[in-house]
Amino acid sequence: MEIPALAIQAAIILAIFGITLLIATYCTWAERRIAGYLQDRPGPNRVGPWGLGQPLADAVKLFFKEEFIPATANKWLFIAGPSLAMLTALMSSAVVPFGNTILSDTFGTTRIQGIEVNIGMLYVFGVVSLGVYGIMIGGWASNNKFSLLGAIRAASQNISYEIAMGLSIIAMLMMTGTLSLREIALQQSEPLFGISGFNWNIFYQPLGFIIFLTCSFAETNRTPFDLPESEAELVGGYHTEYGSMKLGLYLFAEYVNIIVASAVMSTLYFGGFNFPFQDQVGALISSDPVVAHNAVTIIGTVVLFLKIFGFIFFFMWVRWTLPRFRYDQLLNLGWKGLIPLSIINIVLTGAGILLYEYFKG
């Protein structure tokens, strides 16, 4: 690969990194505004216009708070916990295609994606499963029974729901024949009912999507699955002993995980960077195929982010609407509900593929 291409790819990775952090920063503001609306109160509205300066004020507060480590805690692991949680959250967005390709005479074809690997979904699963170690290490290193209980809850919850999530992806793999998120997105650009860019997998895998969505709530520790940090039972859960920026990293990692989960669901089930009538839109913009392709790519990136924002809103809406599960209810749903449903979904998908091939042949 030539140096200019490497430089462009590095710039894209840095841009994705920066945009992810910016969105995560303002997710705190959006969540409080949405919570205020649902609870018939204003929400943050004092710092800057419409309270838009509140996330910056919170960041300054966390940076300048006293750095405190409990006397009986394991110092290095206490620091490593939130660092690992944040690292794995940021790594998982590397394989998500945020757009198609940009064509130019100078740099050739440039993908709007950090890295492209043919096992993209396996990479996401691997990195996300490492994220629980950040919670486990932080909870254990705190030397606090409430923190440890929260960490154990997080570990058992993630293990339980990763199984159902993985099984739901198997059905998707049977349909698409690939684990590459880019390939899955490109397959959805085919026309459906004469509408280009509308052959979304949600029409073929509705049950798989519901399972994946439910598991995403559990994997991100969001209400009604926020048992690892349930303040009514565990004071503050796994981050009870944390303050200042280390607490900020845990809270920030949760929002980054929500963004990544939203991006993955948008790519797997809702066409990713594809949008209805994209071929017609490109033809209207320009008769030059290169210009039309680049314009559709830019519009597709904007559309993907709109889909991501829609899922983020849904995460927040559910948090301020549904009550928290009991822990036995959470595990029953995972092991006795979602895993059997995932297996049924695999069987139905296999039967559907066989019937399609039979009638097609």
Helix (H, G, I), strand (E, B) or coil at 110: strand
Spatial separation of the C-alpha atoms in residues 184 and 200, rounded to whole Å: 10
Helix (H, G, I), strand (E, B) or coil at 111: strand
Cα-based distances in Å from 276 to 190, 263, 299, 300: 10, 18, 11, 10
Going by the DSSP 8-state scheme, the letter that residue 102 receives in this structure is: E
pLDDT in tens, the chain (361 residues): 455 667 777 888 888 888 988 999 999 999 999 999 988 898 888 888 989 999 999 888 888 888 888 888 888 998 999 999 999 998 888 899 999 988 887 777 888 898 888 898 999 999 988 888 888 898 888 888 888 888 888 888 888 899 999 999 999 999 999 999 999 999 999 988 888 889 999 999 999 999 999 999 988 888 788 876 766 666 667 788 888 888 888 888 989 999 999 999 999 999 999 999 999 998 999 888 889 999 999 999 999 999 999 999 999 999 888 888 888 888 899 999 999 999 999 999 999 999 988 888 6
Q: In terms of C-beta density within 10 A (0-12 exposed, 13-18 middle, 19 or more buried), how is residue 104 classed?
A: exposed
Spatial separation of the C-alpha atoms in residues 247 and 352, rounded to whole Å: 48
DSSP percent split of the chain into helix, strand, coil, nearest 5: 70, 5, 25
Spatial separation of the C-alpha atoms in residues 145 and 142, rounded to whole Å: 9
User: Of 114, 15, 111, 99, which Cα lies nearest the Cα of 300?
Assistant: 99
Spatial separation of the C-alpha atoms in residues 111 and 13, rounded to whole Å: 11
Q: What is the pTM of this model?
A: 0.92
